[in-house]
């Protein structure tokens, strides 16, 4: 219980001063990273909610969910490579799903690289199921996106 409690305390809404660390995280985790400008403009969006996982002043992971017209879309979830498989992604997912439920969302979608087995397994564990494929959606390297939905929030 102590470990879980401590981890939950580390997930919080993203602030402007987190943008630089989140921008670095983007560069380490994605072949097509979002710019700091895009991150900051997203913070001001009434539709998007950004969360960070912070430990001792360092942002180790972050997630973004968009809520629009009663549906949600997980736009980003990223954890620094050296901190993966330690529960940070789960804590970020839980924060985003709780936010979505409180906002009255009944279904959430996301896109994931077809080859990203660890992410797909995480999403399945939260009730997401593959429903479609977007051919050639990703670049660097080129790859299909699997569109997954959780329609039982």
Q: Are 53 and 90 in contact (CB under 8 A)?
A: no
What is the 8-class DSSP label of residue 34?
A: P
Instruction: Catalogue the E-assigned strands of the chain.
Output: 11-13, 48-55, 58-68, 71-79, 107-113, 129-138, 143-150
Choice among 24, 55, 111, 114 that is catalytic: 111
For the question of residue 137 being annotated catalytic, the response is no
By DSSP bridging, strand 107-113 and strand 71-79 are parallel
The set of residues, in sequence order, having a beta carbon less than 8 Å from that of 6 and lying 6+ positions away, is none
For the question of residue 50 being annotated catalytic, the response is no
Choice among 50, 53, 62, 123 that is catalytic: 123
Q: Tell me if the bond preceding 141 is cis, omega within 30° of 0.
A: yes
Separation CA 23–CA 41 (nearest Å): 13
Q: Are 89 and 122 in contact (CB under 8 A)?
A: yes
By DSSP bridging, strand 107-113 and strand 58-68 are unpaired
Would you name the residues annotated as active-site residues?
111, 123
């Amino acid at each position: 219980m102590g470990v879980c409690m401590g981890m939950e305390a580390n997930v919080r809404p993203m602030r402007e001063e987190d943008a630089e660390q989140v921008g670095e995280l983007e560069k380490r985790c994605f072949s097509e990273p979002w710019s700091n400008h895009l991150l900051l403009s997203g913070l001001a969006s009434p539709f998007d909610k950004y969360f960070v996982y912070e430990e001792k002043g360092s942002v180790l992971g972050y997630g973004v969910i968009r809520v629009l017209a009663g549906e949600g879309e997980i736009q980003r979830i990223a954890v620094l490579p050296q901190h993966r498989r330690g529960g940070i992604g789960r804590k970020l997912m839980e924060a985003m799903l709780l936010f979505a439920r409180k906002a009255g969302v009944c279904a959430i979608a996301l896109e994931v690289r077809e080859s990203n087995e660890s992410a797909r397994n995480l999403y399945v564990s939260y009730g997401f199921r593959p429903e479609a494929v977007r051919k050639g959606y990703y670049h660097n390297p080129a790859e299909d996106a699997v569109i997954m939905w959780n329609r039982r929030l």
